[in-house]
Amino acid sequence: MSAPALTQSVVRASDPLSQRLVAWPVSRALAAVVILFAASAVIAPASVSQSALLAMLPFAALTATVSVGQTLVVQQAGLDLSVAGGISLGALIVARFGSPQSLGLTLAMVLALVVALAAGTVSGMIISIFGLPPLVVTIAMNALLIGLVQYLSGGYSAQAPPSLAEFSVGRTFGIPNLVSVAVILIVVAQVVLKTTVLGRRFELVGANRRTAHAAGISTRRYLVSAYMLSALLAATTGILLAGFLRTTTLSSGDAYLLPSVAAVVLGGTALSGGRGSLAGTALGSLFLGQLNQLVQTYTQTTAVQNIVQAVIIGVGIVVQLDLARRLRRRTIRRNPN
C-alpha cells in the first residue's frame, strides 16, 4: 500500500473524529473556503453579494471543469501543461466553425473534442511508452496546440455562435448553466472514481504502478486515459468559455493553467499520485474564484492581482502539503513496519 493510502487508513482506524477530519483533504479545502468567504464578508461585503457571487460562479465552474481532468493526471503522478492550449483550441474551433454557414455548432463541438482527444492520446502514449517527463511532453503539446490555434485563426478573434452564448451565460432555476455542467461532471467522475472497479484500479495504478502491474492491470491504459480525459475536459472548458465570453482570443486558455494546478493541490490531491478528491478540487476552484473576486474589489491592476493571488495560493499549497507530510510522518512513527 502506498504511503498516502496507508496514512488515510491508519488515521481512519485509530484517530479521534477531529483528527480524522483534519486528515481528510476535503475537510481542509472546505475549511479554507469557509474562512475565505467569512473574511470576504467582513473586509469586502460587496464581494459576497448575490450579484457578485453570480458573476464569480461561472468562472469557478470553468476552473473546476478543467481541473477535474488535471486531477486525473495528477493522480497518475503527472501534470498536464497543455490544458491552456486545449482550452484555446476548443474555444477557437467552436467559434470559427460553429456558425450555420460553416460546420454548425454540433459538428464544431465534435471536431473540437476529437482534436483534443487525439492530442491527449499522443501525450499519454509518448509519456507511457518512452518514459519522457510529463512536463516536457505536455509543454511541447501545448506549443503544438497554440500553433494550430494561430494557424486556424490567422491571428484574428472569432465570435461564438449565439446559441452557445445564450446557453453559457444563461441560468436554469436561478443557477448559472456553467455551474450545473461543472457539478454534473464532478458528481459523475467522483462516483465512477470512488464506487467502481474501474475507478479503484485507476487509483491503484497512480498510487503504486508496480503493484498494479503485478496484479495484471494494464497500467499504460490508465495513464493514457488520464491524459485523454484531461484534454477532453480542457476542450469542453474552451467550448463553454467561448460561449461565455462570446469572443475568443488566441490566449484565452492561459488564465486557467495555474488555477487548474492550484485547485488540484488545494483540494488535497497529492502531486505524488494515487488517491485524489474531485470534491476537494471543486472546492479549490471555488476558493480561487472567490479569491479573485476579493482581490478585484480592492484593485483592478492585473499585476497586483496576480501577485496577491500567487502569494495566497502559494501559502495555501505549502500549508496543504506540510499538513499531509506531518500526517504521513505520524503514521510511519506509529506503524514502523
52-107 per-position pLDDT tens digit: 999 999 999 999 999 999 999 999 989 999 999 999 999 999 999 999 988 999 99
285 pLDDT exceeds 50? Answer: yes
Cell of 224: 493514457
148-206 per-position pLDDT tens digit: 999 998 878 889 999 999 999 999 999 999 999 999 999 999 999 989 999 999 988 88
pLDDT range class, residue 5, cuts 50, 70, 90:
very low
What lies within 8 Å, CB to CB, of 53 at 6+ separation is none
pLDDT of residue 290: 92
pLDDT of residue 274: 75
pLDDT of residue 133: 93
Structural domains of the chain ordered from first start:
3-11+23-334 (1.10.3470)
Q: What is the mean pLDDT of the chain?
A: 85
21-37 per-position pLDDT tens digit: 455 568 888 888 999 99
* pTM for the full predicted model: 0.87
Nearest one of 96, 68, 63, 76 to 231, comparing CA atoms: 68
pLDDT of residue 206: 86
Q: CA torsion sign, 149 to 152 to 153 to 158?
A: negative
216-272 per-position pLDDT tens digit: 888 899 999 999 999 999 999 999 999 999 888 888 899 899 899 989 988 888 777
pLDDT range class, residue 6, cuts 50, 70, 90:
very low
